[in-house]
Amino acid sequence: MTTSDKQKQRSCLYDLGWIRQKGEWLSELKGFAHLSWVNMEEMERTMRTQIMDGSAYRQSDKAKKAASEAVASYIVLDTGVVGKDGSDGKNKKILIVFSRNDFGMWRGIDFEWGSIADGLEDDDESDVQDSSAQKDIQTLYKDVFLPPEFGWEQKLSSIAVEEPWPAGNMLYYLARVYTASLASNGVKESDSREWMAFNTGLVSRANLNPIVAICKKYEEHPPCTWKLDRFLAWDEKDSQLENRILRKKFRGDLPPCPLFFDFDAFRPIPTSKVLPIDEDIFKDEFRKWLPPEIIRKITEDDCHSSDIETDLDSLEQAYVAGNSAKDEKKYLFNRIIRALGGMDIVLEKAIASLSYAFDMSKRRLSWELTAAVPAFHENHVFYLLPLSFGKDPMSVDLVLVLECEHEEATNEDKYRPRKLITLKYAHRFARCLGPLSAYWLRESIGEIMG
């Protein structure tokens, strides 16, 4: 690339005003598509490429279609980001629109839904097909408008008892509690039908009061019926006039929280009740999904070439990039597997490491009664066990899902290993039943969040 080309590449986004107002527009993009995180580097690279090759420039409908017209009246760029369109629930590309003002400068910005992004997964972690989570989120978006400028995640985090929330998990949690509230008649409306409230299941740092989401009637953002207005720490002794008036609208009745189960049902799991691992099931799992950090650990005794190390680094970056690097992930994964001797050899190492990690986890369960964490997903309860694929048995790399099976012959409950999930999903499912109590899950989530 020539020096001139490099200068053009550096300046092309600046000319559009993107660099000067990047923070503000990024916030608007997150609000538009209800995203918690966007890979900025990948997004800017995608946009620069379109500008440099000219594919971004489009004529507006009002402009003449004559070939002699030199300047388009707006520019549309594909951000490379995919979101879920709340109107139809489809994964779609997100487009960003720049318009030229009367002085010939690019000003103003808007977002549009592009074409359907076929074949894209809901998440860059392909270990879980979390269809119920997407349904819950769609239900929330259909009913309640979450204004981007409100910054609801920051507001809720600032008043609730402090706890780690991996990206996207607070949205999943709020959607789950709202959907469950709907199903159990836990959503309360005021007598005037102008206000609605539901219990978030979180409590305030001050006095541990239940936190309630207060929503107001809203008709400006169809199909939404409500707009999130505030989070209120529900305290009957709170004498602040505005809060007293809000509580009075609901006759002082605190909306119930629908998520918490009878914890008497959750007893420590005896290690003798945990069934062995079915190797065939987990070989199929590893063929579909084997994260780069696990590949490193199961092959750490091998002497890796510099090429393998470079590819592993690139694969980790591709995982961070998510769906936008889906093809790159597949290419790098296959190349690494070939370089390590083929899938059969890697699977043999993976199963051996899994068996050792499973044995260590059962030993941990024998002396740490809370090691098996109850969790909730797809309308049933299961348990989670920590797994370490490295040399430190107290570290946590992946989480094993144990499903309870009742044996009629012995009239006993047994716990069968079913699948592997990441710490992010372990937090997501366990948090549906209440605050994290297990030391390993709290500490591990804190570590991955920095």
CA torsion, ordered 282, 286, 289, 290, to nearest 10 deg: 130
Residue 83, token pair as written in the block = 């979101």
pLDDT number for residue 63: 36
What are the helix (H) ranges across 54-151? 131-143
pLDDT number for residue 127: 39
CA torsion, ordered 351, 353, 355, 358, to nearest 10 deg: -130
Backbone CA torsion sign across 398, 178, 131, 96: negative
- Cα-based distances in Å from 412 to 56, 272, 273, 353, 407: 64, 11, 9, 30, 5
pLDDT number for residue 344: 93
Strand order in the sheet with 57-58: 57-58, 74-84, 91-100, 106-116
Residue in the structure block whose two tokens are 């200068």: 7
Residue in the structure block whose two tokens are 């690494």: 336
Using alpha carbons only, give the angle 7, 13, 14 rounded to the nearest 5 degrees: 80
pLDDT number for residue 52: 66
Contacts of 250 (CB under 8 A, 6+ apart): 188, 190, 195, 197
Residues in the chain: 450
Question: How many other C-beta atoms lie within 10 A of the C-beta of residue 434?
Answer: 15
Peptide bond into 164 cis (omega under 30): no
Model pTM?
0.65
- Write out the chain's pLDDT in tens, 450 residues: 444 554 554 456 666 666 656 666 777 776 676 665 566 666 777 777 777 666 665 544 333 333 334 445 667 777 777 766 666 656 677 887 777 666 666 665 677 777 654 333 334 444 344 566 778 888 898 899 988 777 898 899 999 998 888 878 899 899 989 998 998 888 999 988 999 999 999 999 988 899 999 999 998 877 889 999 999 999 878 778 888 888 888 888 888 887 655 554 566 788 889 999 999 999 998 988 888 889 999 988 776 778 888 888 888 877 766 655 677 788 888 889 999 999 999 999 999 999 999 999 999 888 887 889 988 887 778 899 999 998 888 899 999 999 988 878 888 889 999 999 999 899 999 988 888 878 888 888 877 665
Number of H helices, E strands in the chain: 14, 13
The DSSP 8-state label assigned to residue 148 in this structure reads: G
Residue in the structure block whose two tokens are 């780690």: 164
Residue 20, token pair as written in the block = 């000067």
pLDDT number for residue 96: 78
How far is it, in rounded angstroms, from Cα 379 to Cα 359?
A: 29
